[in-house]
């Protein structure tokens, strides 16, 4: 399965208040459903709905903080056992190729990134396992800020269904849900 694994911090680690990405906003206007994962962050084959205001809701408000769920009990282990954050796949519903399916933005500097894709969804990973050993680029950061830390970046990967070959081949529930029956 082809994808890219680019990490983003739209502040370039220069925001003096924080080097983390929780202050960024994430909007998925066509994604109220996501794939459930197990404790190892592997898809279970179940499609879940993200209720408005829930930990995995990024569709109900355009300016929702990426870290809106940090205080919720369901945020803990949300991306697998011992992982607080995100490492899940959101499904795009009712889109066209020219539709903006994701907007990621930094309120601190005003940079906005929009995603358009022909893929059926997006994997979002909040760098929960970054340990600071990956150095920042010479153009990034401020004095005293070193390395890519936990929750300081996000990978946004437009792609086909994660583990789809094992979970969704001949899965009539998925096909019916997507209107492909």
pTM over 0.75: yes
Query: Quick check: helix, strand or coil at residue 1?
Result: coil
Q: How confident is the prediction along the chain (181 residues), in pLDDT tens digits per residue?
A: 567 778 999 999 999 999 999 999 999 999 999 999 999 988 888 999 999 999 999 999 999 999 999 999 999 999 989 888 999 999 999 887 789 999 999 999 999 999 999 999 999 999 998 999 999 999 999 999 989 999 999 999 999 887 666 665 555 555 555 555 4
Query: Quick check: helix, strand or coil at residue 112?
Result: strand
Among 1, 2, 149, 20, which Cα is nearest to 10's?
Answer: 20
The pLDDT of residue 94 is 83
Assign a CATH topology to domain 1-181: Beta-galactosidase; Chain A, domain 5 (2.70.98)
The pLDDT of residue 161 is 81
**Number of C-beta neighbours around residue 138 at 10 A:** 6
**How many Å separate Cα 177 from the centre of its chain?**
22
**How many Å separate Cα 81 from the centre of its chain?**
17
For the chain, the domains span 1-181
Among 95, 75, 72, which Cα is nearest to 87's?
Answer: 75
Residue 118 per-residue DSSP state: S
């Amino acid at each position: 399965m082809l994808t890219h694994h680019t990490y983003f911090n739209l502040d370039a680690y220069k925001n003096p208040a924080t080097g983390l990405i929780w202050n960024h906003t994430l909007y998925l206007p066509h994604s109220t459903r996501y794939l459930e994962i197990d404790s190892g962050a592997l898809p279970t084959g179940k499609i879940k709905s993200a209720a408005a205001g829930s930990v995995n809701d990024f569709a109900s408000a355009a300016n929702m903080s990426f870290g809106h769920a940090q205080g919720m009990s369901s945020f803990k282990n949300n991306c697998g056992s011992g992982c607080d954050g995100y490492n899940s796949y959101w499904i795009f519903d009712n889109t066209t190729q020219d539709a903006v399916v994701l907007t990621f933005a930094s309120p601190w500097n005003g940079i906005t990134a929009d995603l358009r894709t022909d893929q059926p969804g997006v994997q979002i990973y909040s760098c929960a396992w970054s340990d600071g050993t990956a150095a920042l680029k010479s153009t990034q950061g401020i004095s005293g800020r070193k390395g890519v830390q936990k929750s300081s970046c996000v990978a946004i990967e437009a792609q086909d269904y994660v583990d789809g070959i094992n979970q969704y081949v001949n899965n009539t529930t998925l096909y019916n849900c997507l209107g492909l029956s």
